[in-house]
Amino acid sequence: MMKFLISILLIIISIILFVKPFKKLGRLFSIFVFSVGLVLLLISTVIVIPAGYTGIYIFLGHVSDRTLKSGVNFVPPYVKIVYFPTRLQELTLADSNIVNARTQNGLTISLDCTTLYKINEAMAPKIYSLYATSLNELLNKIILPIIRTEIRNVISKYKAEEIYSSKREEIAKEIEKILIEKLSEKGVVIDSFLIRAILLPQEVEDAIQMKLKAQQEAEAMEFKKQKAEEEARIKVIEAKGLAEAQRIINSTLTPYYIQLEAIQVYKNLANSSNATFIIMPTSPNATGLPLIINGAR
């Protein structure tokens, strides 16, 4: 705006220099002044929007619906330009800003969390007109109150032990979904919601840890029991199989079959290269125990 005013002033001065009383100053000087004023006027129409920002231009209190993209833009020199960042922003609620919420069973927990968000560039004029004139104002007036409120609403539906253990990821996704719905109306795009830590009163945390440990031990004992039952079942099956095999062998085992097997063994020993004497059994059915004498020296 300052460049625009200076350029107008210089152009007016150059015109005055053409007037007869100032003719002695020379037309060349007046042309020079006019040229400088014109250059400044042209420069004042060029706006460079930095990368990661969008521009909103305002004239006499009216906000244009069209946004200025990053890079070189040509705008009327008499408008006001407001910059809004469009990069991904990080909001971490921890330490003094940590969120305290009450669970379904009446316990108060603290949630250390991070929200990644950015401005919807197309809605930047609406944000400026209806909600906030800067990102910091939008954060304090709109984003923070909604995040805190929705965290407390969701936490109130769960028990402390669920939040601390099995439901943590589910709760984070539920909060993220609600924030996406609520803040999209305000021109804020939620990228993700992350629960970094859940802080419980020490006595409650100790009680939950003991309960979880007891559950794990019970599960381990149940596993051992099932394993023992399975091993016992396998042994019973093996024993039944062995008994059946013995029954079959006993039912088919005859003295003649034993005699045949014994004779075969004797033949193998007789053909052996060792100096071995075999004394055959003397029982009628040749089922006696043979006496084998190794004569090797």
Residue in 114, 69, 124 with CA at minimum distance from that of residue 92:
114
Q: Per residue, what are the HEC states of 157-209? A: CCCHHHHHCCCHHHHHHHHHHHHHHHHHCCCEEEEEEEEEEEECCHHHHHHHH
Instruction: State residue 297's pLDDT score.
Output: 46
Rama region for 99: left / alpha / beta (φ>0; ψ in -120 to 50; rest): beta
Three-class HEC string of 236-285: HHHHHHHHHHHHHHHHHCCHHHHHHHHHHHHHHHHCCCCCEEEECCCCCC
Digit-by-digit pLDDT tens for the chain (297 residues) are: 555 555 555 556 655 655 555 555 556 666 666 566 666 666 666 778 888 999 888 887 788 888 888 888 777 777 788 889 999 999 999 888 899 999 888 888 889 999 999 999 999 999 999 999 999 999 999 999 999 999 999 999 998 878 877 788 899 999 999 999 999 999 999 999 999 988 876 666 666 667 666 676 677 677 777 777 777 778 778 777 777 766 776 666 666 666 666 677 667 766 766 655 555 555 555 555 555 555 554
Residue 25, sorted as left (phi over 0), alpha (psi -120 to 50) or beta, turns out to be alpha
Structure confidence at residue 95 (pLDDT): 85
List the structure tokens of 219.
Answer: 């599960």
